[in-house]
Amino acid sequence: MAGPATLAVVAVSAVLFSFSVCLAVETEGQEGSCPKQMANSNVNNITAVSPPGPRGDMGPPGPRGVRGERGETGLPGKLGPQGLEGQRGEKGASGQKGNQGAVGVGGGAVYIRWGRTSCDEGTGTVTVYSGLAGGAFYTNNGGGGNYQCLPADPEWGRYDDGVQGWKSFMYGAEYGLSSNVPYDKATFHDRDVPCAVCYSLSRRAQLMIPSRKTCPEGWTREYGGYLMAAKHDHNGRTEFVCMDGEPEVLPGGEGNKDGALFYPVEARCGSLPCPPYVEGRELTCVVCTK
């Protein structure tokens, strides 16, 4: 079967043959045999259909056009997924140590220094007040069981003078010694005991440690001395307190008036292991703050 190209060639050949015949007739003087071509007529225009030729080479780029106007800003796109966490970097070098700040107001360590009229203010501690030790009479079964640091200048509210006998009693306190250990008997026996209430400006906690003279690491030693309490065979009981290692006495308290009494505390073996404790040895103590 003939293709489109073959048909096109046959059509062109037929047209050219007819044109040649008409031209020959006109040459011999025979007019009217072929139609005359009209001016500006497309009757004899012939369009030949042929396959497209190969694509030509790309020409050089044209000149750059004028830059258009800037368009409107588009809407923000959606937030993309979170990326993976990166590896942790190495620890940087330590910075320089800053200057120590002023003393804060967050302190709160309060303790009683038994046997002294003032506190050691060289450790950043102030004396709140000084006074005298007191407590229940040593033979009473009732009353308070703890020593008190009584101010030297009491203030009064409503009162009824005269002993009624149905109330609790407060007495002053004296040292009770039967030997020169741990304090000199001639100096301190039956003498009235002073005390001072101390407040630490920068430390919050207070701790009394029996049987120790030094504080744990990181704690400040306020004072040390010997553990004291009521005598073991007296009717009343008291708390154990730390009496200063270098105690003082109140002036004018030389007489034996008794009242609340402070006695040294000895170790007794049995349920208390010996060693490390020693039978009959006086126990030390220390007061620490942090």
Residue 143 vs residue 47, higher pLDDT: 143
- Confidence bin at 242 (pLDDT 50/70/90): very high
Using one digit for the tens of pLDDT, what is the confidence trace for 101-144?
555 555 689 999 999 999 988 778 999 999 999 999 998 888 88
Predicted local confidence at residue 100, as pLDDT: 61
pLDDT reading at 166 higher than 80: yes
Predicted local confidence at residue 57, as pLDDT: 85
Which tokens belong to 237? 């009981």
- Confidence bin at 209 (pLDDT 50/70/90): very high
Mean of the per-residue pLDDT values of the chain = 82
Burial track 188-223 (b if 16+ CB lie within 10 A, e otherwise): bbbbbbbbbbbbbbbbeebebbeeeeebeeebbebb
Predicted local confidence at residue 261, as pLDDT: 92
- Confidence bin at 15 (pLDDT 50/70/90): very low
Q: What's the average model confidence in pLDDT over 233-258?
A: 88
Residue 15 vs residue 213, higher pLDDT: 213
Q: What's the average model confidence in pLDDT over 227-252?
A: 91
Q: What percent of the chain has pLDDT over 70?
A: 79
pLDDT reading at 257 higher than 80: yes
Predicted local confidence at residue 13, as pLDDT: 52
Q: What percent of the chain has pLDDT over 90?
A: 46
Between CA 133 and CA 248 the distance in angstroms is 12
Predicted local confidence at residue 282, as pLDDT: 95
Q: What's the average model confidence in pLDDT over 78-98?
A: 80
Give the count of beta carbons closer than 10 Å to the beta carbon of residue 11: 13
